[in-house]
Amino acid sequence: MAPRENTFETTPDDSARPTRIVVVGGVAAGMSAAARARRLDESAEIVVLDRGEHVSFAGCGLPYHVGGEIASADALLVQTPDSLRAALNLDVRTRHDVVALDAAARTVTARTPDGDRTIAYDALVLAPGAQAVRPPLPGIDSPRVRTLRTVPDAVTLRGWVGAGARRAVVLGAGFIGLEAAEQLAAAGLDVALVELADHVLPPLEAELASLVRDELTRLGIAVHEATAATAVEPGPEHDVVVLGDGARLPADLVVLSVGVRPDTAVFEAAGIATERGAIVVDAHGRTSLPGVWAAGDAVVSTHAVTGARRPVPLAGPANRAGRQVADAILRPATARPIPPAVGTAIVRVGTLAAGLTGANRAELDAAGIAHHTIHLHPSQHAGWFPGATQVHLVLHVGEDGRILGAQAAGADGVDKRLDVLATSIRGGLTAEDLVDLDLAYAPPFGAAKDPVNLAGMLAANVLDGTLRLWHAADLDDVEATALVLDVRSAAEFASAHLPGALNVPHTELRARLAEVRDAAAGRPVRVTCQSGVRAHIAHRVLVANGFDSASLSGGMLTLRAALGRAADARLVTEEVLAR
């Protein structure tokens, strides 16, 4: 066994002020904990151990170096051990791979280029992060298959791109996979993107994910959904990625981004409590072992909306939890609890941004939380101001009006609406509260009724029964049992409509109610328009006139997106009519 690096006494009492804080992991949570600890305690010895060559690097920037949007890898190195020593008097030790924890002795052992080192601590912060999942496929260890977790990973891939790689396969269309695919395509490679789930960006609802798929396609990326790699066949010139659906994709490089798992084996071996591999912590980041705290991607987090327990591998929550762990260690009397995770995330794909906050439909269903879902497609700023584009919004609200989750996609203003909705979820706001938000309006920035206000109005209308919705998922039922009333203009109707739909423009509806009544012949009327606005107006007219009516949530825009590739088969289009 290697010699103990030092011999000072450890402090057996957790409540005593520690003299030496050891942090395992020097990126988001770990470095935040270390930096905050120094600001709170000038005299503590603070040691940061990291197995890699670099600490405090910009993990979220790695895909952007691969494609060259971040030209220099140096830009990714936000801090160095030297700069951290100079500014914060931190003792940062890279190439220190912690391989053992002895909680009774209050030591960790790190494997280093110079042999093992055992390091004593008074307080230990575990921020080991997550490691990329590597599915056990034939050929997965081909040197052309790379994950994208470290600066050297990004530099290697960037090197291959610079050296003339032409064909890339990205396995996994989550956030990092999408960024990698976008960047590789922007660098001129032929890119194929493979996703096991039914659609790219699986946490996104299908009706928004299809917008992402369309944008990927527009960027020239070949999207393979609902299939997975079954093997990688290495070759002398290039590899071939074989998919479950039989496709064979030649690849000069393969980016593996099918998920991450907490990197906790060493700590599990030391007896720390975990759930499905993630470290269990209390509200202050304290683990089951005395004197040991944890934060970041390796830790179980509680979902703010559903209460589900799972790791949340996001940089923001990791940074903030690390900071709060330092408070818990150094100011236990006043430290605030680490809040449950709202789980906000966003990705840029070409000219599109797409993201989500709170719970999605699947999570709400899994948690048994009853909810209404609304869709809308307002302009990101006043429609009459140049440059207006649509923000496609999905909002899930509870029966009590509480905002449970929201998703958005569009060319502009998506991040802003997600942030307002994330803030609303954190603040426990309701649909009616969204109506009341005084958001910043001038024509270049928003609208007198901001998309978030409109979402609140729409949801409030649904909750109080002013508006009754039908959804794309109801389409089979509706076609079997109801009259579809399409209140768009004749030209819009002609371009694509549901089979059997009656077209009465909303401006003519009051005068043509008898016609609707005849066509309905006692059936319910299910109204649609392009985005849901005109159908709402028509719905109110119909209800006032005694009809059983409902309005298609998000209109034909949402319906088409929800149907995805099946839309052409379900709609009567001009092309169909021309046959």
Cα–Cα distances in angstroms (integers) from residue 548 to residues 461, 506, 532, 554, in the given order: 17, 17, 17, 19
* Of positions 111, 426, 512, 517, contacts a copy of itself by CB under 8 A: 426
Structure tokens at 240: 């071939």
Stretch that binds a copy of itself, among 18-26, 133-141, 278-286, 505-513 (CB under 8 A): 505-513
Residues 516-575 that bind a copy of itself (CB under 8 A): 534, 536-537, 540-541, 544-545
Segment interacting with a copy of itself (CB under 8 A) among 11-19, 253-261, 281-289, 424-432? 424-432
Among 134, 320, 523, 570, binds a copy of itself (CB under 8 A): 320
Indicate the residue among 45 and 268 with the shorter CB distance to a copy of itself: 45
Q: Which residue has the tokens 């695919």?
A: 181
Extract the tokens encoding 438.
């005084």
Q: Which is nearer to a copy of itself, 243 or 321 (CB)?
A: 321
How far is it, in rounded angstroms, from Cα 300 to Cα 295?
9
Q: Is 3 in the site for a copy of itself (CB under 8 A)?
A: no
CB of 472 closer than 8 Å to CB of 558: yes
Q: Are 292 and 302 in contact (CB under 8 A)?
A: no
| Binding to a copy of itself, residues 132-161 (CB under 8 A) | none
User: CB of 532: closest distance to a copy of itself in angstroms?
Assistant: 13
Residue number with CB closer to a copy of itself (258 or 422): 422
317 binds a copy of itself (CB under 8 A): yes
Q: Determine if 443 is a binding residue for a copy of itself (CB under 8 A).
A: yes
Q: Which CB, 24 or 76, lies closer to a copy of itself?
A: 76
Contact at 8 Å (CB) between 106 and 291?
Answer: yes
Write the binding mask 7 to 26 for a copy of itself: x where contact by CB under 8 A, - elsewhere: --------------------
The strand order across the sheet containing 239-243 reads 229-233, 239-243, 248-251
Determine, following the binding rule CB under 8 A, whether residue 454 of this chain makes contact with a copy of itself. no
Residue with tokens 């891939």: 157
The CA–CA distances, whole Å, from 244 to 178, 191, 252 equal: 20, 18, 20
Instruction: Indicate whether 28 belongs to the interface with a copy of itself (CB under 8 A).
Output: yes
Question: Site for a copy of itself (CB under 8 A): which residue of 39, 218, 248, 276?
Answer: 39
Scanning residues 177 to 206, which ones bind a copy of itself (CB under 8 A)?
Answer: 179
Count of all residues that appear for the chain in the document: 579
The DSSP element (H or E) to which 329 belongs, if any, is helix 315-330
Alpha helices in 464-573, H assignment, sequence order: 475-481, 490-495, 513-520, 533-544, 555-563, 567-570
Task: Tell me whether residue 468 is exposed, middle or buried, using C-beta atoms within 10 angstroms of its C-beta: 0 to 12, 13 to 18, 19 or more.
Answer: middle
If one asks whether residue 323 binds a copy of itself (CB under 8 A), the answer comes out as yes
Q: How far apart are CA 316 and CA 263, in angstroms?
A: 19
Give least dist CB 24 to a copy of itself, A: 19
515 binds a copy of itself (CB under 8 A): no
Tell me the C-alpha to C-alpha distance, in Å, between residue 40 and each of 43, 87, 366.
9, 14, 42
Residue 492 touching a copy of itself (CB under 8 A): no
Q: At 55, list the tokens.
A: 């600490």
State whether residue 360 is helix, strand or coil.
coil
Give the whole-angstrom CA distance, residue 395 versus residue 382.
Answer: 21
How far apart, in Å, are the Cα atoms of 102 and each of 290, 326, 329?
A: 11, 21, 19
Least distance (Å) between residue 375 CB and a copy of itself: 19
Nearest Cα to Cα of residue 278 among 223, 321, 235: 321
Two tokens, residue 487: 């209140």
Work out whether 56 is an interface residue with a copy of itself (CB under 8 A): no
Select from 214-222, 410-418, 490-498, 561-569 the region that touches a copy of itself (CB under 8 A).
410-418
Q: Of 9 and 42, which CB lies nearer to a copy of itself in the complex structure?
A: 42
From candidates 18, 33, 47, 64, binder to a copy of itself by CB under 8 A: 64
**34 near a copy of itself, judged by CB under 8 A:** no
Secondary structure class of 562 (helix, strand, coil): helix
Please tell me whether residue 96 binds a copy of itself under the rule CB under 8 A.
no
Q: What is the SS3 assignment for 422?
A: helix
User: What's the min distance (Å) between Cβ of 367 and a copy of itself?
Assistant: 18
- For 272, 318, 337, the CA distances from 287, given in Å and listed in that order, are 7, 16, 14
Longest dimension (CA), the chain: 93
Nearer to a copy of itself, 166 or 510 (CB): 510
Using the rule CB under 8 A, is 52 a contact of a copy of itself? no
Buried-exposed string 439-460: b where 16+ CB fall within 10 A, e elsewhere = beeeeeebbeebbbbbbbbbbb
Question: Does 514 help bind a copy of itself (rule: CB under 8 A)?
Answer: no
Q: Is 186:67 a contact under the CB 8 Å cutoff? A: yes
Give the interface size with a copy of itself as a residue count (CB under 8 A). Answer: 95
Q: Which is nearer to a copy of itself, 73 or 103 (CB)?
A: 73
Task: Work out which of 445, 473, 492, 572 binds a copy of itself, going by CB under 8 A.
Answer: 445
CB 541 within 8 A of CB 510: yes
Q: Contacting a copy of itself (CB under 8 A), which of 133, 245, 510, 568?
A: 510
Give the span between the Cα atoms of 499 and 545, in whole angstroms.
25
Residue 194 CB, shortest distance to a copy of itself, in Å, is 21
Smallest distance, Å, CB 78 to a copy of itself?
6
The Cα–Cα gap between 66 and 53 comes to 18
Q: Show the site string, 346-365: x = touches a copy of itself by CB under 8 A, - = not.
A: xxx----x-x-x--------
For the bound state, the minimum distance from the C-beta of residue 161 to a copy of itself, rounded and expressed in Å, comes to 17
Q: Report the site for a copy of itself in 379-408 (rule: CB under 8 A).
A: 382-386
Which CB sits closer to a copy of itself, 250 or 316? 316
Residue 79 binds a copy of itself, judged by CB under 8 A: no
| Interacting residue with a copy of itself among 164, 427, 476, 491 (CB under 8 A) | 427
Which C-beta is closer to a copy of itself: that of 440 or that of 514? Answer: 440
